[in-house]
Amino acid sequence: MIPPRLKPILDETAELAERFVGAGYRIYLVGGTVRDAIDARHAVQPSADGPAADPLAGVDLDLTTDARPDDIQRLLKGWAEATWTQGKRFGTIGAMRKGRRFEITTHRAEVYVEDSRKPEVRFGDDIGADLARRDFTINAMALRLPDHELVDPFDGVTDLAAGRLRTPLDPVISFGDDPLRMMRAARFISGRGLEPDGAIVEAVAGMHGRLAIVSAERIREELDKLLVLPSPSAGLWFLVRGGLAGEFLPELPALELEQDPIHRHKDVLAHTIAVVEKTSPDRILRLAALFHDVGKPRTRAIGPEGVSFHHHDVVGARMTRDRMKALRYPTADIEAVSRLVELHLRFHTYRMGWTDSAVRRYRTDAGELLGRLNELTRCDCTTRNEARARAISRRIDELEVRLEELSQREAIDAIRPQLDGDEVMTVLGIGPGRDVGAALAFLLEVRMEDGLLAEDDIRSRLAQWWAARQAD
């Protein structure tokens, strides 16, 4: 009997499978779809919302076959509504039917040659050889279609049940074929609570330098996938302990600062990973949590009052920009994350209370990052001192109340000068030029410090400023 969780997948692939088998080829469902169908904890479940709901929403279906790419294209004609061939030289043809994406790949074996970033691809006819080249045993399972026979030559089902992460072949071979698999291991460790076997740990320790042949874009993508998992900490520790982080993010292991015996301070690396774990699985926020203290090693000083890290926010923001550029992050991501790093201590500079001016500046400087900045500030408190933690949380609550009050009273979500350029020129009797820009900067400062003023008052302030400027 077919488990109910498998039925939507089999129904979706039945007609396609008949086409391939009828033409004399074999075709198999592979990848995460098979793994998740076997592991009930992650399986796609039939919806309780009725037949209108799509139980496979967001699921792409991966298949492998002994048919060659040209044959795959031929068999998809008349069945697929659209096809794409960007991956054809690697054996993959993409297809779309009724809003569902399929990727069908010829059995293959790919190997990275020394000092190369691109795999060499060979096509094959054997499903066993194809599965052997996959990253981990839990992904090296296939479901033959249309008869639904499970092919599991490397005992992936047992590994799933045991919570164990293994490679189909010796990990030295598997990681040599594609070094990014060492990073991918971190994602499965965190995402599925798997324990890497000793051979994987040993191979990573000896091979992490091989990551140098992998493109920055692929490394970045894998890091992002890890960071948005519900609980990424185990994977982050794996990256650090195995030496992988040092290859693409050396600022992370550098946070494991030696604690001096007199002026003790918390382990910055452990603190950083704890902050990442506490934040919501928002990619930009998690990146900011990962980078927020990277400036501490460079700014660390020991004085009479203990260890200090003065200006680590500013230094860290600069380091964040440099590292994210090296990892080829989009400019918008770099600006958002580095800005959060730069601002993450701002809350603590208002220890004596929040004046209206301080609230306006905080809101304006945070911009659209306000929600993320407030959450980062909350999560940055990892102290075991419960009284101190409650006090910080209470102060953040108070700040958020003040932000809401001022927003309703003054529309501080988009603070701008109270007069525009045309009004400035009218009041001062001047034409376009640098003086208008200087006047607008003055009016913005007044808006920050004093809030909204009566129309006559703001015009009078502008005239006084202009008279003083002319006198100089």
Residue ranges of domains in the chain = 1-162, 249-414, 421-471
Angle at 215 between CA 214 and CA 221, to 5 degrees: 100
Q: How many residues does the chain have?
A: 472
Nearest-angstrom CA–CA distance, 76 and 20: 9
CATH number of 249-414: 1.10.3210
pLDDT at 49: 45
pTM, whole model, 2 decimals?
A: 0.82
- The C-alpha torsion from 36 through 37 and 43 to 49, rounded to 10°, is 150
CATH number of 1-162: 3.30.460.10
Closest CA to 36 of 3, 66, 64, 67: 3
Which residue's entry shows tokens 């890497």? 196
Tell me the C-alpha to C-alpha distance, in Å, between residue 38 and each of 12, 122, 155, 411: 17, 29, 13, 53
Which residue's entry shows tokens 């800005």? 339
What are the residues whose beta carbons fall under 8 Å from the beta carbon of 125, sequence distance 6 or more? 66, 107
Query: Quick one: tokens of 267?
Result: 């382990």
pLDDT at 164: 97
Beta strand 92-97 with 100-106: parallel, antiparallel or unpaired? antiparallel
pLDDT at 300: 85
Residue 355 Ramachandran class (φ > 0 left, ψ -120 to 50 alpha, else beta): beta
Per-residue pLDDT of the chain (472 residues; tens, 9 = 90+): 556 777 788 888 999 999 999 999 999 999 888 898 888 665 544 444 444 455 555 567 999 999 999 999 999 999 999 999 999 988 999 999 988 899 999 998 665 555 555 666 789 999 999 999 999 999 999 999 998 899 999 999 999 999 999 999 999 999 998 999 999 999 999 999 999 999 999 999 999 999 999 999 999 999 999 999 999 999 999 999 999 999 999 999 999 875 544 445 568 999 999 999 999 999 999 999 999 999 998 888 877 777 778 889 999 999 999 999 999 999 999 999 999 999 999 888 766 567 888 888 888 889 899 999 999 999 998 777 788 888 888 888 888 888 888 877 766 666 778 888 888 898 888 889 898 888 888 888 888 778 878 888 888 888 888 888 888 7
